[in-house]
């Protein structure tokens, strides 16, 4: 079965870059029917869909309007993983970050979730 | 986009049925049949319970069902069990390749 294992620092300084990775087992990051999604959860904002990447003969990414200017999601086929980078972070970016796998381009449902990574933005 | 609106909490006794609503707009819930529901026990990652308004993934009990009318989607849990106690979130396609979640509903089994 598909397993997603997240890693990354739990503390990021304000104005710095938040970087997380999601290692995939049981599926290929290049699978043309899978989508790799990032979501975050905080008490103030609840669950928030952040963005996704997917391979359809080439790589594509979609982002939520709220983070589009600061976020990049990449795939690393050699390591079978996806990564998230969020620039210029503020305390409002403090949240539990999840990666997930989607199986339908339009439906967007997430059928496998990582374990979550708590990221605190603080000096 | 604004988050979808869910009641903060619902409750029911074992064996009863409860329904959780998820209200959006013509730009999301009302315009697409792409509503999903997730169950999140305390301290755990969400789990997919319903997709495409009313489809159940394999392994999800048929006590869980979904529906939609206009801008409101609903999750109904029948034959309530203690293990159903959790937070529930809806999610809808919102156009332009983005998705929006609801604020979450805490289900208490009395």
The alpha carbons of chain B give a radius of gyration, in whole angstroms, of 13
d(CA A10, CA A95): 10
Q: Residue with structure tokens 């959006």?
A: B24
Residue B104 backbone class (left: φ over 0; alpha: ψ -120 to 50; beta: rest): left
Which tops the pLDDT comparison, B2 or A122?
A122
Contacts of B32 in chain A (CB under 8 A): 106
Mean predicted confidence (pLDDT) in B14-30:
97
Give the DSSP letter string of A5-47.
EEE--SEE-TTS-EEEEEEEESS-TT-TT-EEEEEEEETTTEE
The alpha carbons of chain A give a radius of gyration, in whole angstroms, of 14
* Distances in whole angstroms, Cα of residue A30 to Cα of each of A60, A72, A108: 11, 17, 17
d(CA A26, CA A37): 16
Collapsed DSSP state (helix, strand, coil) of residue A92: helix
At B39 the pLDDT is 98
DSSP-derived letter for residue A91 is: G
Question: Cβ B103–A46 below 8 Å, yes or no?
Answer: yes
Chain A and chain B share a number of CB contacts under 8 A equal to 63
Q: How is residue A3 written in tokens? A: 């397993």
Give me the residue from A48, A114, A115 closest to B101, CB to CB: A48
Buried b (16+ CB within 10 A) or exposed e, A84-113: bebeebeeebbbbbbbbbbbeeebbbbbbb
| Residue B56, min C-alpha distance to chain A (Å) | 11
- Helix/strand/coil percent split, chain A, to 5: 0, 55, 45
pLDDT tens, residue by residue, B31-78 = 999 999 999 999 999 999 999 999 999 999 999 999 999 999 999 999
Contacts of B38 in chain A (CB under 8 A): 47, 110
Element housing A105 (H / E): none
- Helix/strand/coil percent split, chain B, to 5: 5, 50, 50
d(CA A105, CA A88): 30
Show the low-confidence residues of chain A (pLDDT under 50): none
At B1 the pLDDT is 64
């Amino acid at each position: 079965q598909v397993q997603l294992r997240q890693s990354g620092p739990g503390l990021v300084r304000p104005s710095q870059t938040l970087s997380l990775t999601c290692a995939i087992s049981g599926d290929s990051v290049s699978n043309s029917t899978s989508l790799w999604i990032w979501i975050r959860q905080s008490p103030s904002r609840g669950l928030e869909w952040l963005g996704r990447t997917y391979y359809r003969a080439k790589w594509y990414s979609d982002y939520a309007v709220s983070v589009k200017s600061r976020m990049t999601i990449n795939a690393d086929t050699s390591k079978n993983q996806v990564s998230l980078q969020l620039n210029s972070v503020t305390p409002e970016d403090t949240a539990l970050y999840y990666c997930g796998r989607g199986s339908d381009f339009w439906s967007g449902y997430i059928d496998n979730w990582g374990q979550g990574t708590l990221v605190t933005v603080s000096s | 986009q604004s988050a979808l609106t869910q009641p903060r909490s619902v409750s029911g006794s074992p064996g009863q049925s409860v329904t959780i609503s998820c209200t959006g707009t013509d730009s999301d819930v009302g315009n697409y049949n792409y509503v999903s529901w997730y169950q999140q026990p305390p301290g755990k990652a969400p789990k997919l319970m319903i997709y495409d308004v009313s489809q159940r993934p394999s392994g999800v009990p048929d006590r869980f069902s979904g529906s939609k009318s206009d801008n409101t989607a609903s999750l109904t849990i029948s034959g309530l069990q203690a293990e159903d106690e959790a937070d529930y979130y809806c999610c809808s396609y919102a156009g332009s390749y983005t998705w929006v979640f609801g604020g979450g509903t805490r289900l208490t089994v009395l």
